[in-house]
Structure 1
Amino acid sequence: MKRRAFIKTAALASTPLLLRGFPVVASSELDSYALDRMAAAAVNCGRILVIIQQNGGNDGLNTVFPLDQWSNLFNARSNILMNQSSVLSLNANDTTGLHPAMGEMRNLYNDGKMMIVQGVSYPNPNYSHFRATDIWFTASGSNQTLDSGWLGRALDIKYPNYPMAYPSAEMPDPLAIQIGSVLPFSLQGPNMNMGYSAPDPSTLLNVINGITDPAPNSDYGHELSFLRLMKDQSNVYRSAIQTAYAVPLNSGVTYPSANKLADQLKIVARLINGGLQTPVYIVNHPRTHDTHENQVDSLDKTQGAQAINLTLLSQAIGAFQQEISFIGKEEKVTGMTFSEFGRRIKSNASMGTDHGSGAPVIFFGGALNTSPSMVANTTYPVPGMIGNSPVLPTNATVSNQVPMQFDYRQLYTTVMQDWLCMSEDEANQVLGGNYVKLPIFNPTLINSITFDENDAIQVVLFPNPSTDGIVNLKFADPVKSSIQFTIYSLNGSLIENVILYVNETLATLSLGHLAAGTYILAIDWNGKMVYKKFILQ
């Protein structure tokens, strides 16, 4: 069922159940079948992923500040940039600071419980809210349109007989729960939605119980049958969810009032405390980050719409992490924030910023690779940060974008493999290709790529090592198409993309501008992806 078909019938999909006044509904618009895939794998490793969606395109440069690029940042956005002295400093990170509204998150960073991944995007980014959100939800390329979510596809592999064979002894609880919005497309599988949705945790709704009547043999009838099936599944899991929520939790943690994100995370903490085995939760920031105007207050640039948004985010995450620590699940629960895109480097005349590309993604939890001893002398030696401050031009124009350092699918494959215990082959199947992992949870990255010797039959790289920066690729058959060559460091940092049209069997890359070292070359052509390791001397 297509996403727009879900949206048209969303009102029919709500079949709420109550958790002490908070409704939870099985929804036809839960679009994260891949989420469920990850959830299935997580059953065996007991880990939980909490995804926070920041709708509207969060301004990464007014969230995570590049202190080492300050003069260029000031030139680009003097009308919205606060004084550098207002930015929150970070331990062992002189290049980076946080918005002053993010005090709780600064504390987590300094305690080794938060990680910043800089410059996350994808090639040829899309600046439409709707399309860019679909790309992140489905894990597609900018030129692809997929009908299922990355999390949904994952659960489809792990739970091929869902929902008929579930709940089961191995998985008695929902595969994924979403709270705080209409249904995200990320939870939609190829054939079935895999999760629960609570569109508004503050609204009281009654459980809908009824007999499934025959539906007409039409498009509407087919959709109605699907929605009724979702309602039946909600009733199947109702008892387990309510039982988990009812388990006492006397942590003494005070969640902030008038903060719907905190309300959502409080429910998640209660369910985790109650022993629910659900491995994936999605919650939603209640305010838009689409700050084309009045992103800051004209008299105090530390205040305004951005400050309000980040205060809600930081206070909610801070309280949630305290409670997870009290429960004793810090090593088992990890959170991840994302927004469909960032904002442009240069501000506009309305004291705002327009749609952009690259932006930071933030992880939080007690199992991150933030130990100074673990990251020392690696590609990413700053504890709590992967990547560098975005390089900004001296005088940015409206066309300049925050540079991409990492493909967002690198984060997805890392989460699937290193956190939710999926195999490399399973992650590749979900994403439609092999992406280099990042040291978010595990510093050993190179083993995430399979350098199959059989690939030598298809592509031969020579000379290797190269002494003059010239690298040749010999293909077994004439290509007659454009090929995308992507060069990564050994730890997964994107170096550059090169697109060449190859008519026959030989392609030549001139890489003399790169420093001596070992690199990974991803070769993407005719629906194939081959990885080669090469050395420049």
Structure 2
Amino acid sequence: MKRRKFIQSTALVSAPLLFNKIPVLASSQLESSNLQTLANAAVNCGKILVIIQMNGGNDGLNTVFPRDKWSELSNARSNILIDETDVLSLNHNPTTGLHPAMQEMQQMYNTGELMIVQGVSYPNPSYSHFRATDIWFTGSKSDETLNTGWIGRALDEIYPDFPESYPNSNMPDPLAIQIGSTLPFSLQGPNINMGYSAPDPDDLLNVINETTDPAPNTDYGLELTFLRLMKDQSNAYRETIQSAYNVTNPPSVEYPDNKLAAQLKIVARLINGGLQTPIYIVNHHKNFDSHENQVLDTDRKLGRQPENLSLLSQSISAFQADLKQMGKDKKVTGMTFSEFGRRVKSNGSFGTDHGSSAPVIFFGTSLNTGVANVEGTAHPVSGMIGTSPNLPQNASVNDQVPMQFDFRQIYNSIMQDWLCMTDAQATSVLGDTFQKLPIFKKDFSKVILNDDFMYIYPNPVVNNQINIAFRDFIKTNVVVTIFSIVGSLLYTNKHYVLGDILTFTIPTLLSKGTYILEVNYNRTILQKKFLV
């Protein structure tokens, strides 16, 4: 292999860092011009995206349960399905539940810090691990092959002069950091792999101490020595990463003892240390390819996939608590993805085979988890975009979970609504226009608000019952007051709200007409007109 080709294709070309024996891959070019664009825009708006990759194809129907499709599930996968009573319920979402291994994520959902996007896939999906992963990484159609990643292209839009003039005073830090694995193709740039790569944690000590491991006296060994020296010499970002990592942290949240949690803990430390890097990618260390023994026959709540989900839930919960403690939670959002889901019908080996659509889960405190925020979607539900999948009553081995949303809609929403890219930039990255999803909150301020922060449903009101949906989760007492259109006080009372919905009945019958409802809490005054 020629040296230039080897340099372009290998992850070793970028300098590795290790923290607590966890490899940190810092991307400056972020594996693609898209990633450069994405990082530039993200830095300008101060937001951070953390991506958790779940390799192998996670079974979405055994993660997010369609409780309203239980008979269809029972018919399709009786040998792996848990008892319905074991499903974790979700506030204001009676159709949906989580696997019992995800108790921490259930709590996050119920407090407005978790969002489920149902049925994510793309037309004519691939069931090959490698091809499906490439499609997710590049943002391509199923019948096209791209040689750059969607994040790399996005960053190229934001940082068009990269890497010649970087690092600089405006952007002294890496555009992206990969932890715990080799660099994903999503970060591939048009000319060179744009990341730090340290699959072996001991490589970090080499960078810190400026030493090079011995290599055999062969042609390969000479090439390897050359690459290691070039990598170490060109490590422009080592000091900034180390400085951020070594910043004194507030009292640390206790993380569970697993490799995913260890990766997220490093991300939290780098964020706390002030690193401006907008993109972090971490990998779940367990494989989700569950053709057999996905669950235990003796206890279907246990097994390979439930163990993986428990690790995911515990790790995300600790990471989110850490962000809150350091006061960084509003600037960070995370998402999980797997290259595909599994089929509706289980197989005879207590497992499931390669499928298509699956839920994507977001986490953070800046999500539009209130039902008012997804009002424009077809079936608004608190904490969820989309509906339970439409499953056949008697599924065959070839039946798939139907697609509700194209994964590029998620990418478009992230780029525009979280990472501050323009519509033109996002379209350039994806090569087409994709409708956004209401994943992220708008920036509301604590002043007198009118129509935007809450809505009343149904409107006109029926039988004196008032239903209020807020665009944010509330955990406090609120004072509700109702005035006539000419200002006469008709009702006032204090209610405790935990979530995004308040329902109450007015004891005095209201006649037909227009009224004003006011909600007062934490020095915030919300007002809304309604009809009877």
Q: What TM-score comes out, normalization by structure 1 length?
A: 0.75
Q: Distance in 2 between matches of 1:393 and 1:7?
A: 50
Q: Is the 8 A contact 2:295 2:301 kept in 1?
A: yes
Q: Which amino acid aligns with 1:43?
A: V
Q: Which residue in 2 is equivalent to 1:160?
A: 160
Name the counterpart of 1:424.
423
Shift of 1:13: 3.4
* Cross-structure match for 1:67: 67
Contact 1:67 1:97 in 2 (8 A): yes
Match of 2:148 in 1: 148
Q: 1:14/1:236 Cα in 2 relative to 1: closer, same or farther (>3 Å)? A: closer
Distance 1:24 1:232, change over 3 A: farther
Alignment of 1:132 with 2:132, yes or no, is yes
Contact 2:368–2:383 (Cα < 8 Å) also in 1: yes
Partner of 1:93: 93
Output the CA distance in 2 between the equivalents of 1:224 and 1:432.
40
Residues 1:296 and 1:8: Cα distance change in structure 2 (over 3 Å): farther
- Code of the aligned partner of 1:437: K
Q: Render the CA deviation track for 1:419-445: whole Å, top value 9, x for unaligned.
A: 00000000000000110000101589x
Task: State the SS of the aligned residue for 1:44.
Answer: helix
Q: Counterpart in 2 of 1:342?
A: 341
Contact 2:27 2:174 survives alignment (8 Å): no
Indicate the residue corresponding to 2:281 in structure 1.
282
Task: Name 2:373's counterpart in structure 1.
Answer: 374
Report the secondary structure of 1:186's partner residue. helix
1:392 matches 2:382:
no
Q: Is 1:299 matched up with 2:298?
A: yes
Q: Shift in Å at residue 161 of structure 1?
A: 2.3
- How far apart are the structure 2 equivalents of 1:18 and 1:260? 13
Q: Which residue of 2 aligns with 1:267?
A: 266
Cα 1:12–1:182 change in 2 (3 A) is closer
Deviations 1:448-476 (A, max 9, x none): xxxxxxxxxxxxxxxxxxxxxxxxxxxxx
Larger Rg: 2
Contact 1:134/1:185, CA 8 A, preserved across alignment: yes
Is the Cα–Cα contact under 8 Å of residues 28 and 226 in structure 1 kept in the other structure? no
Identity over aligned residues, as a percent? 64
CA contact under 8 A between 1:62 and 1:99: conserved in structure 2? yes
- The verdict on how the C-alpha distance between 1:331 and 1:202 changes in structure 2, with shifts beyond 3 A counting, is farther
Q: Specify whether residues 229 and 158 from structure 1 end up closer, same or farther in structure 2 by C-alpha distance, changes over 3 A only.
A: farther
Aligned to 1:330: 329
Q: CA deviation at 1:194?
A: 2.7
Per-residue Cα deviation, 1:6-41 (whole angstroms, up to 9, x for no partner): 699647436333446544345799635423321110
Question: Which residue of structure 2 aligns with residue 236 of structure 1?
Answer: 236
Q: Distance in 1 between matches of 2:197 and 2:304?
A: 28
Within-5 A mapping of 1:102-121: 102-121=102-121
Q: Deviations over 1:178-224 (max 9, x none)?
A: 0111220000111133333343558764118589xxxxxxxx99999
Between the aligned partners of 1:182 and 1:30, the Cα distance in structure 2 is: 12
When structure 1 is superposed on structure 2, of 422-431 and 149-158 the one drifting more is 149-158
Distance 1:243 1:86, change over 3 A: same
Alignment partner of 2:187: what SS?
coil
203 and 351 in structure 1: CA distance in 2 versus 1, 3 angstrom threshold: farther
Say whether 1:436 aligns with 2:435. Answer: yes
Query: Which position in structure 1 is the counterpart of 2:311?
Result: 312
Q: Is contact 1:261–1:312 with CA below 8 Å preserved after alignment?
A: yes
Equivalents in 1 of 2:34, 2:232: separation in Å? 21
Q: Secondary structure at the match of 2:363?
A: strand
Q: Which residue of 1 aligns with 2:453?
A: none
Q: Which amino acid aligns with 1:352?
A: G
1:184 aligns with 2:181: no
> Distance in 2 between the 1:202 and 1:297 partners?
37
2:115 counterpart letter in structure 1: M
SS at match of 1:40: helix
The whole-number CA distance in structure 2 between the counterparts of 1:353 and 1:171 is 46
Structure 1 residue 121: Cα displacement: 0.3
Rounded Cα–Cα distance in structure 2 between residues aligned with 1:22 and 1:82: 35
Distance 1:310 1:203, change over 3 A: farther
One-letter amino acid of the counterpart of residue 177, structure 1: I
Amino acid of the structure 1 residue aligned with 2:83 = N
Q: What's the Cα RMSD here?
A: 3.0
How far apart in 2 are the matches of 1:185 and 1:414?
21
Pair 1:193 & 2:193 matched: yes
SS of residue in 1 equivalent to 2:197: strand
**Could you tell me whether the CA contact under 8 Å between 2:37 and 2:160 is conserved in 1?**
no
CA contact under 8 A between 2:138 and 2:150: conserved in structure 1? yes
SS in 2 for 1:268: helix
Match of 1:412 in 2: 411
Take 1:284 and 1:183, find their aligned partners in 2: how far apart are those partners? 11
1:250 aligns with 2:250: yes
SS of equivalent residue, structure 2 residue 69: helix
Whole-Å Cα distance in 1 between the matches of residues 392 and 253 of structure 2?
Answer: 44
Q: SS where residue 78 of structure 1 aligns?
A: coil
Higher mean C-alpha deviation, range 241-250 or range 51-60: 241-250
* Structure 2 spans left out of the alignment, 5+ residues: 213-220, 444-532
What is the alpha-carbon distance in structure 2 between the residues aligned to residue 231 and residue 191 of structure 1? 20
CA contact (8 A) 1:30 1:178 kept: no
1:22–1:203 Cα contact (<8 Å) kept = no
Q: Which amino acid aligns with 1:135?
A: I
Partner amino acid, structure 2, of 1:421: C
* CA separation of 1:201 and 1:228: change in aligned 2, threshold 3 A: closer
- Alignment size in residue pairs: 434
Cα shift at 1:310? 0.3
8 A contact 1:15–1:27 mirrored in 2: no
Q: In 2 relative to 1, CA 141–11 (structure 1 residues): closer, same or farther, beyond 3 Å?
A: closer
CA deviations over 1:326-356 (Å, ceiling 9, x no partner): 1111110000100000000000000000000
Q: Which stretch has the larger CA shift, 313-322 or 178-187?
A: 178-187
Q: Please give the secondary structure, in 1, of the residue aligned with 2:95.
A: strand
Instruction: Tell me the amino acid that sits aligned with residue 269 of structure 2.
Output: R
**CA offsets per residue over residues 28-79 of structure 1, 9 Å max, x none?**
9963542332111011110000000000000000000000000001100000
1 CA distance for matches of 2:416 and 2:233?
32
Map of 1:447 onto structure 2: none
Name the CA distance, whole Å, in 1 between partners of 2:239 and 2:190: 27
| Amino acid in structure 1 at the alignment position of 2:168 | S
8 Å CA contact 1:25–1:198 kept in 2: the answer is yes
Residues 14, 196 of structure 2: 8 Å contact kept: no
Shift of 1:374: 3.3
Question: Relative to structure 2, which stretch is displaced further, 223-232 or 392-401?
Answer: 223-232
* Equivalent in the alignment of 2:56: 56
Question: How far apart are 1:153 and its partner, in Å?
Answer: 0.9
Deviations 1:242-291 (A, max 9, x none): 1110111133411001x100000000000000000000000000011000
Provide, for residues 68-92 of structure 1, a one-character-per-residue CA deviation record: whole Å limited to 9, x for no partner.
0000011000000000001100000
